[in-house]
Structure 1
Amino acid sequence: MSTHESSVVIIGGGPGGYEAALVAAHLGAQVTVVDRDGLGGAAVLTDCVPSKTLIATADYMSEFETAAELGVHLEDREGDAVTDVVARLAEVNQRVLELAAAQSEDIGARLAEVGVRVIQGTGRLSGPGTVVTTGEGGEETLQADVVLVATGATPRVLPTAQPDGERILTWQQIYGLTDIPEHLVVVGSGVTGAELAQGFLGLGTRVTLVSSRDLVLPGEDQDAAAVIEDVFRRRGMEVLNRSRMESAQRRGEGVVVRLTDGREVEGSHVLIAVGAVPQTSDLGLEEAGVELSESGHIVVDRVSRTSVRGVYAAGDCTGVFALASVAAMQGRIAMSHALGDAVAPLRLGAVSANVFTDPEIATVGMTAAQAAEAEDVEAVTMPLARNPRAKMLGIQEGFVKLFASRGVGTVLGGVVVAPRASELIFPVALAVQNRLSVDQVASTFTVYPSLTGTLAEAARRLHPTEGDV
């Protein structure tokens, strides 16, 4: 396909959509993005950027607690100790929303620079190569050589816990709050629930976390989850393990969450964080022949192709990995494949991810569960508390865990539990992506003192010996 004659229509302006648009424009295609909710999608406007901004504020407040351990104390002008650090939620949320809007504007400016047309409205397939858009300018029919669907997902809503935007909230609605909730009940202990539970705890809210599993963060490394749950409890959060919500309703000036065992938890607000559902209805997908899974996700292969020639999909609507980084990669791969550029299929085994709790949990590649089932894998875990830089920073929790192939020493994966683990996982991700050996990692200079020194030490401990072969 000649890219100079190609037209691309992208439905959805989130990470999968706008990153795909940039690649397609670079390859010479005429690109139109049809976006309903704002460029950047949920990742920028209502999820990743807002939540991590709020969490960063909470992390900043927690540093005041560590400061006392380092010999630093707050005093007023009379020399009296300052005991309370207060967050003003209206100001916090105003900053959150302003940052999100600014990021969205930056994306729009970048798309305009490369000649991408943006239509504010909705798009619907009326055939494999035809998209009908509806926006402020009315209805328009676009013909396309390539169509990319990147419509994302939306919070899962339960019939017994209908959000009202005031007391019963989804994670997209919390940024409308102007006052710190007195008692926030968080239902769901996955990544979103755990992150926001600790975020509001750090802002000064009393938090009760309703978790259906034995540990919070059931999808994460269980050693890491145990560290996080212990931190939650020590900082005053009430964690209700093996508990399921039956309903959530308004009661007076607050809410009541009824559990399936008959218990009731009263609070001022409840945050429902029980997953997401793909936004794939009313897009004309099934009529066009695009295969959907039982859950409603678009079925794609490793180069983002759907079951219909010329129609691709990327992001949360595919159910591959609910990560903005994966959505962006899927979108880039889709355009490279569709427009004839060199492309490598998506490698899920090299995806790095992060849970923005305090400390953070960062992972890449092989998991502990996978390593336990494999006979030819070695693992080593090292606590960060022994690291000199960690001592200087007052870090007491956290660890580094590496997995490597026995005998060969190829780095297969890793887990980092630490402040800013999202930054520390990158050397491990490079090793996994490029199939480096533990010896190559261990022989690379690290700064002394630094937290990355523990990564190098873990690699040294995995050095293959004759007995490993």
Structure 2
Amino acid sequence: MQQHFHFDAIVIGSGPGGEGAAMGLVKQGARVAVIERYNNVGGGCTHWGTIPSKALRHAVSRIIEFNQNPLYSDNSRAISSSFSDILRHADRVINQQTRMRQGFYDRNHCQMFSGDASFVDAKTLNVRYADGTSDRLTADNIVIATGSRPYRPENVDFTHERIYDSDTILQLSHEPQHVIIYGAGVIGCEYASIFRGLSVKVDLINTRDRLLAFLDQEMSDALSYHFWNNGVVIRHNEEFEQIEGTPDGVIVHLKSGKKVKADCLLYANGRTGNTSGLGLENIGLEADSRGLLKVNSMYQTALPHVYAVGDVIGYPSLASAAYDQGRIAAQAMIQGEAQVHLIDDIPTGIYTIPEISSVGKTEQELTAMKVPYEVGRAQFKHLARAQIVGMDVGSLKILFHRETKQILGIHCFGERAAEIIHIGQAIMEQKGEGNTLEYFVNTTFNYPTMAEAYRVAALNGLNRLF
């Protein structure tokens, strides 16, 4: 028999955006329900996206480190691992994350419903369970935090056992010797690093003219070089005409006339918002062609009591930003307006091997804006800490205003880049005279550390001024 429940707020989805909203609401005294399609909380971030891919990347990078470090390896033997081996490591991390996040909901008395949510009317949701039964939930406010999924073109047969997307690649059961990755965005580049680190041949097909064009060009060029140096074949400005599954692999027919054959294919070209099946037509909301919803600065949709956060609203499509969006939406919901807002300069972390991270403007953007900037650089190979741990590949670049010495952008390439970037971000976020390159010269860093790169880069930049 169908039951009816009423809450102050309902959150659809338990990924970073949904978690941020739910925790923000309950901490302000709201009675909250969370509807999650799957049996476990965490969303795509925990189960198919950020967490597993970074766990895989970490395992591979440690194998590479062992094999390249003469302290551990005498070059006559090398350790190796299969994709299924490192998947077991990822599974352990996923389980730990799931238990921890379930604990958040339990401790804060969020009522969980495991089923598919759809709108009946503007304040009523139907929850359909796996056994076919359903319940009705009503609330004064609703948050859509359903995330996104890999884009699947209709002319690609994803039912073929050798054709994967970035979700199903985690179900890879055979050991490929050669992989084609179609799409050279963040996901494609990260998996190119993972597979190549396992000594799998990789063809990376890029539909654009360079890798990760949103990055500072030096960072993009550095990644291209390291891919090339490690044997990844990159094919720029290519699009597929046909993807043909065969009994033992895949053949990609390109519009340029080329053909590429491999054991399997990972299609990683674009994502789609998870809005189909929500019954948006019943409340007068409409997603765009990519399944995304439009929101205002407080994450309200066209219906003021219906909010949307995370990947389902598109840019920046980062787990870190989604969590903050959820918290901001919760504050706006309870207080009428949000006292905090998403920061302008959101750091980007790309977990290739080596890592890339950036915050603020690129050289290309500053040049186009005609900003008089200067550059300070530090090479990791010159840092004592990097020499000690064998992390001598990489660099830190600081862009700053020639006259005010205000930091305008920071770009890091190398191991631990996503951690290192936050030191510079903290100074960039300071208001007025607090944001100055001279901070790194006038402060004292622990020695030896990777953080010392900021002092080296700052001195390098100041020495360029005249």
TM-score, with length taken from structure 2: 0.92
CA distance in 1, matches of 2:119, 2:339: 28
The answer to whether the 8 A contact 1:18-1:39 is kept is no
- Out of 299-308 and 316-325, give the one that drifted further: 299-308
1:429 to 425, 448, 454: 425
Is 1:61 matched with 2:73? no
The answer to whether the 8 A contact 2:376-2:462 is kept is no
The answer to whether the 8 A contact 1:128-1:309 is kept is no
Q: Deviations over 1:252-310 (max 9, x none)?
A: 31111111111110100111000101111221324323353443311112221111111
1:181 to 176, 184, 190: 176
1:36-435 matches, within 5 Å, as 36-37=37-38, 38-68=40-70, 71-74=71-74, 82-136=76-130, 138-164=133-159, 166-290=161-285, 292-340=287-335, 343-382=338-377, 383-435=379-431
Taking structure 1 as reference, are residues 136 and 271 closer, same or farther at Cα in structure 2, changes over 3 Å only? closer
Please give the secondary structure, in 1, of the residue aligned with 2:51. helix
CA distance in 2, matches of 1:465, 1:222: 21
Taking structure 1 as reference, are residues 265 and 425 closer, same or farther at Cα in structure 2, changes over 3 Å only? same
Please give the secondary structure, in 2, of the residue aligned with 1:425. helix
Please give the secondary structure, in 1, of the residue aligned with 2:341. coil
Flag structure 2 segments of 5+ consecutive residues without an equivalent: 1-5
The answer to whether the 8 A contact 1:302-1:345 is kept is no
The answer to whether the 8 A contact 1:381-1:399 is kept is no
Amino acid at match of 1:393: V
CA RMSD of aligned residues (A): 2.3
Taking structure 1 as reference, are residues 6 and 410 closer, same or farther at Cα in structure 2, changes over 3 Å only? farther
Residue 393 (structure 1) shift: 3.2
Taking structure 1 as reference, are residues 434 and 6 closer, same or farther at Cα in structure 2, changes over 3 Å only? farther
Residue 175 (structure 1) shift: 1.7
The answer to whether the 8 A contact 1:227-1:397 is kept is no
The answer to whether the 8 A contact 2:180-2:205 is kept is yes
Residue 178 (structure 1) shift: 3.1
CA distance in 1, matches of 2:165, 2:341: 31
Residue 463 (structure 1) shift: 5.1
The answer to whether the 8 A contact 1:381-1:402 is kept is yes
Please give the secondary structure, in 1, of the residue aligned with 2:69. helix
Please give the secondary structure, in 1, of the residue aligned with 2:154. coil
Partner of 1:10: 11
The answer to whether the 8 A contact 2:321-2:342 is kept is no
Amino acid at match of 1:67: N
- Out of 197-206 and 373-382, give the one that drifted further: 373-382
The answer to whether the 8 A contact 2:402-2:465 is kept is no
CA distance in 2, matches of 1:361, 1:460: 22
Taking structure 1 as reference, are residues 377 and 295 closer, same or farther at Cα in structure 2, changes over 3 Å only? farther
The answer to whether the 8 A contact 2:298-2:337 is kept is no
Please give the secondary structure, in 2, of the residue aligned with 1:349. coil
Please give the secondary structure, in 2, of the residue aligned with 1:350. coil
Residue 30 (structure 1) shift: 0.3
CA distance in 2, matches of 1:56, 1:98: 13
Identity of aligned residues (%): 26
CA distance in 1, matches of 2:456, 2:327: 36
Residue 181 (structure 1) shift: 0.9
Taking structure 1 as reference, are residues 395 and 350 closer, same or farther at Cα in structure 2, changes over 3 Å only? same
Taking structure 1 as reference, are residues 366 and 338 closer, same or farther at Cα in structure 2, changes over 3 Å only? same
Amino acid at match of 1:421: A
- Out of 376-385 and 13-22, give the one that drifted further: 376-385
The answer to whether the 8 A contact 1:291-1:307 is kept is no
Taking structure 1 as reference, are residues 102 and 35 closer, same or farther at Cα in structure 2, changes over 3 Å only? same
CA distance in 1, matches of 2:35, 2:430: 36
Residues paired across the two proteins, number: 455
CA distance in 1, matches of 2:382, 2:465: 29
The answer to whether the 8 A contact 1:160-1:246 is kept is no
Flag structure 1 segments of 5+ consecutive residues without an equivalent: 75-80
Residue 424 (structure 1) shift: 0.2
Partner of 2:457: 458
Residue 245 (structure 1) shift: 2.0
TM-score, with length taken from structure 1: 0.91
